[in-house]
Amino acid sequence: RLNWTHLSDDYSFPKFSRKRKFSEDTIRWVCSKIVEGFTNTEISKIATCGISDVEVCKIRTKQQYKDISNQYF
């Protein structure tokens, strides 16, 4: 395995910032539906924001928006 830090140390890389796809209100709504017992598919079908069941699953499993979902479950 190669180590290239002798080259990368000479550069300053900006921190990667992830832009959130959905608003905080939307994520809070999704979290409340999860707590109420809705399935991922049910949530994605009744949502008006276009969130998919895969994205709901990522919120449920705390792969995304963990800072908000921690307040609910």
Q: Which two tokens stand for residue 51?
A: 């969130």
pLDDT level of residue 8 (50, 70, 90 thresholds): confident
69 C-beta neighbours (distance < 10 Å), count: 21
**pLDDT digit string (tens) for 35-63?**
999 999 999 999 999 999 999 999 999 99
Q: Which two tokens stand for residue 55?
A: 């994205």
pLDDT level of residue 66 (50, 70, 90 thresholds): very high
* Identity of the highest mean pLDDT range in 11-15, 20-24, 55-59: 55-59
Q: Which two tokens stand for residue 67?
A: 């800072």
At 46, the amino acid letter reads I
